[in-house]
Structure 1
Amino acid sequence: MHGWLTRLRRALQPPARIADADWDALVASSALFARLDAADRLALRALAEWFLARKSFSAAGGHVLEPSHALAIAALACLPVLRLGHGALAGWREVIVYPGEFRVKREHHDEHSGVVTEGEDVLIGEAWERGPLILSWADVATDLAHPFDGFNVVAHEIAHKLDLLDGAMNGVPALPRSIARREWIEAMQAGYDRLVRAAERGRDTFIDPYATESADEYFAVVSELHFSDPAGLARAEPAVAALLARYYGGETA
């Protein structure tokens, strides 16, 4: 009961205001924020305040988590929901930050042989269903310093969180009424299929071939590009780029 009351009080308590100096330092630190207009920066600041009040941050792997790190991650996590609202970030409460790449143990089940093998993946980000958002600070910092180079680990993982809102990680997030589910699936599937064919033929592709892993990874990778190289994405996959602009609410670069 005590834990429930604590959570209720936190939910009802207005978020603490981000200090002007801290916010100004963040905006000045990356062209990703500086390129936003005044109205969007104000909305992003309010969302980041909400995020910091509702999500808990913890360090792992020996990382020293600075308040500026939490603020930067909060702003990056809220950028994809600038038009969707903080309700799109519901259902989970924790952010775990490593200093750099981290290892995760996996089990792989071969459907044909039935053999189960164990291994480790080296990751820079991960999003668990109703669980934490896990990030490499080194990669977050690189994305802040070079925001338009085609990579954004926080946007990638938040895309997975958005994908999970309807209960299934399948590359189809909960969609606004302005986008029909069939329209989304047709455009994304066509883009995914083109990428798979190009990768199978050994062609160089603008979209990272990692996106061929699954439909959900394709959505996460093209979401990264929407925030970090929308012009490049529009050249490579105009229909996908246009759909993401409608979903996220426009280009940021």
Structure 2
Amino acid sequence: MGFFQSLIARFRAPVPPIDDAAWRQAVQRVPLANALDPPRAHYLRQLAAIFLHSKRFHAMGDAPLDDFWRLAIAMQASLPALPHGPKAFKGWTNVLVYPGEFNVRRSHRDAPTGVVTDSDDTLIGEAWERGPMILSLADVALDLEAPWDGFNVVIHEMAHKLDMLAGPANGVPPLPSSMNRRQWIQTMQRGYDRLSKAVERGRRTAIDPYAAEAPEEYFAVTSELHFSQPALLREAEPDVARLLDAFYGPSPST
């Protein structure tokens, strides 16, 4: 049994392969995929087919969500899954795609007083534990136009999904047996603490200050850098860069 067939055998329903012409067009338009070596590009195609088969896409508002955009999202979501396989997609089903930024209402309860306050956040992406991945299509398109600027909303949200495979996001995804969990926690915590202190002091930082919001955001933001601007990450946090090289494999840009 071939490799792709062994992957398909894990699913009850056959996984439809991606059309050759559609795949060639998408590779030309998705620079992160176009930069892969042939073996990883071949596996990416298999994983993207599984992603498309196992996820349900929903166009929100007037988002022009056609077959190309579904495939482009699937390809970028599959990049962080390359070393981990289809298990990286477990635990959720839906991909919600808005035409641009979207608003999310949140409730916060103050523990001492019990007072609940509501607020609206404007976002370009979000991932819910065992819930949907939510994306701004305008920002997905921007990432294709500027693939090496350190930002990629699909990879950011997929990093959260990997993080959530073991429960609520905390910046510590399930690790392969070859990686040491204590080393991961210590290295990522040191990087997060350095960034948080710099942000608190008003210093300019190489890593997006949003990464200082929480350890899980630090993991997601540095994951974006691994794929789209690894030289900056190696300069700013070489130990974190080495960890992500081990977790994700080599960056497409190296």
Partner of 1:96: 96
Q: SS of the residue aligned with 1:119? A: strand
Report the counterpart of residue 173 of structure 1 in structure 2: 173
Greater mean alpha carbon deviation, residues 190-199 or residues 32-41: 32-41
Distance in 2, matches of 1:63 and 1:216, equals 28
Equivalent in the alignment of 1:118: 118
1:138-163: per-residue Cα shift (whole Å, max 9, x none)? 00011111111010001100111111
Distance (Å, rounded) in 1 between the aligned partners of 2:52 and 2:89 = 12
Q: Which residue number in structure 2 is paired with residue 199 of structure 1?
A: 199
Shift of 1:61: 1.9
| Contact 2:29–2:144 (Cα < 8 Å) also in 1 | yes
Secondary structure of the structure 1 residue equivalent to 2:119: strand
Q: Is the 8 A contact 2:32 2:76 kept in 1?
A: no
Q: Which residue of 2 aligns with 1:235?
A: 235
Q: AA paired with 1:86?
A: P
Q: Where do 1:155-166 residues align within 5 Å? A: 155-166=155-166
Is structure 2 residue 46 aligned with structure 1 residue 46? Answer: yes
Partner Cα separation in structure 2 for residue 84 and residue 115 of structure 1: 43
Q: Which residue of 1 aligns with 2:17?
A: 17
Q: Return the offset for 1:17.
A: 1.3
- Does the 8 Å CA contact 2:30/2:72 hold for their aligned counterparts? no
What TM-score does the superposition give when structure 2 sets the normalisation length? 0.93
- Identity across matched positions, percent: 56
CA distance, structure 2, for counterparts of residue 109 and residue 205 of structure 1: 32
Paired with 1:156 and 1:229, the residues of 2 have a C-alpha distance of 13
Deviation at 1:108, TM superposition (A): 1.8
Distance 1:244 1:139 in 2: 24
Taking the aligned partners of 1:45 and 1:185, their CA distance within structure 2 comes to 32
> Aligned partners of 1:197 and 1:54: how far apart in 2?
41
* Distance in 2 (alpha carbons) for counterparts of 1:117 and 1:91: 30
Q: Secondary structure at the match of 1:105?
A: strand
What is the one-letter code of the residue matched to 2:42? Answer: L
Moved more, 55-64 or 186-195: 55-64
Shift of 1:113: 4.0
Partner amino acid for 1:109? R
Do 1:60 and 1:96's aligned partners in 2 also have CA atoms closer than 8 Å? Answer: yes
* Equivalence for 1:226: 226
For 2:168 and 2:178, locate their aligned partners in 1 and report how far apart those are by CA, in whole Å: 21
Q: Unaligned regions of 5+ residues in structure 1, if any?
A: 1-9
Match in the other structure for 1:4: none
Q: Specify the alignment match of 1:3 in structure 2.
A: none
Give a deviation string over 1:183-221, Cα, whole Å, max 9, x none.
Answer: 000000000000011111111001111111111111111
Q: Distance in 1 between matches of 2:102 and 2:110?
A: 25
Contact 2:33–2:76 under 8 Å retained in 1: no
- Deviation (angstroms), 1:167: 1.2
- Measure, in 2, the Cα distance between the counterparts of 1:114 and 1:203: 35
SS state at 2:11 partner: helix
- Is 1:86 aligned to residue 86 of structure 2? yes
Q: What's 1:6 paired with?
A: none
Give 1:12 shift.
1.4
Q: Structure 2: how far apart are the matches of 1:194 and 1:115?
A: 33
Question: What's the Cα RMSD here?
Answer: 1.4
Contact 1:11 1:54 in 2 (8 A): no
CA shift for structure 1 position 34: 1.4
Residues 64-97 of structure 1: CA deviation (Å, up to 9, x unaligned):
2101110000001000011111101101111111
Deviation (angstroms), 1:32 = 1.4
Amino acid at match of 1:102: F
Separation in structure 1 between the aligned mates of residue 239 and residue 190 of structure 2, nearest angstrom? 9
Once residues 139 and 52 of structure 2 are traced to their aligned partners in structure 1, the CA distance between those partners, rounded to angstroms, is 20
Aligned length: 245
TM-score when scaled to structure 1? 0.94
Q: Pick which of 146-155 and 58-67 moved more.
A: 58-67
Q: Structure 1: which amino acid aligns with 2:91?
A: G
- 1:212 and 1:31 mapped to 2: Cα distance? 28
Q: Match for residue 55 of structure 2? A: 55
